[in-house]
Every structure is written in C-alpha cells, then in structure tokens.
Amino acid sequence: MNSAQLYLDDSLVFMSLKSFGDFTISTAVLQRLPAESTGCISLLIGSHLGELCRELNPNCEVRILEFGECGVPAIFDIRSKGYLAGLRSAFRIKKSLDREISLHRATLVFDRITWRERFVV
C-alpha cells in the first residue's frame, strides 16, 4: 500500500473509489486488525460501493464520498467512458475531497498510486 505524507498523530483513511474487488480486499485486511487498532482507521468509498459495504460490515468508520457519479468513476474507466468524462470525473472527485475537512490532516491510503490518484489528491 502507498500513502500520502504520514503524520503519526493522525488517522488513516483507506480510499476505495474504483471497484468491488479493491474494496473487498481493503475490508478483509481491516477485519483482521485487532479492534483496538481500528479507532484511527476509516474507509472513504464511492457511493456505488455502499450496498457491498453494508454486506461486508467493516469494523471501522465508513464514509461515502459524494462526487456526482453512479458506478465506477469515469477517471478509473476511461476506456469505456472517454477522456472528457474522465477529466470531468477527476475534477469532481478532487473538489469532493477538498470539501472533506476531516481529510486535511489524515493520511490517505490507496491500493496503488497512479497519475489518477496523484491528481485528485
């Protein structure tokens, strides 16, 4: 896992905006942590993962990032949705992340950091 700058006294926010598999893996890893260590850990997910989240019932705080898209964001599905939709999607996600006050001092954790994640953060 890659993360943005780490502050030792801050929380970890695992971001899952892409697909069901990534979210399932993140949830499985978090379920294996001792309950006392999940207090400073939360998940930030896309709204398309809400139903799966209810089924998996992770043992940490879960927040849904609203960015105006249903399903996998176009920035992560450029082949089928096109470059223009992907660009719009990237700006919407970036704007939504900027509005999340609680993320300003959190360490964001991604499954891997590509140009997409670097842009939105």
Q: pLDDT exceeding 90 applies to what percent of the chain? A: 22
Per DSSP bridges, beta strands 2-3 and 12-16 are unpaired
> What's the mean pLDDT in 11-33?
84
Q: Residue 36 contacts by C-beta under 8 Å, 6 or more apart in sequence?
A: none
Q: Mean pLDDT in the chain?
A: 82
User: Model pTM greater than 0.75?
Assistant: yes
Q: What pLDDT score does 38 carry?
A: 60
Note the pLDDT tens digit of each residue in 33-80: 776 666 688 889 998 999 999 999 888 888 898 888 888 899 999 999
Q: What is d(CA 102, CA 98) in angstroms, rounded to the nearest whole number?
A: 10
- Nearest Cα to 53, choosing from 81, 32, 73, 23? 23
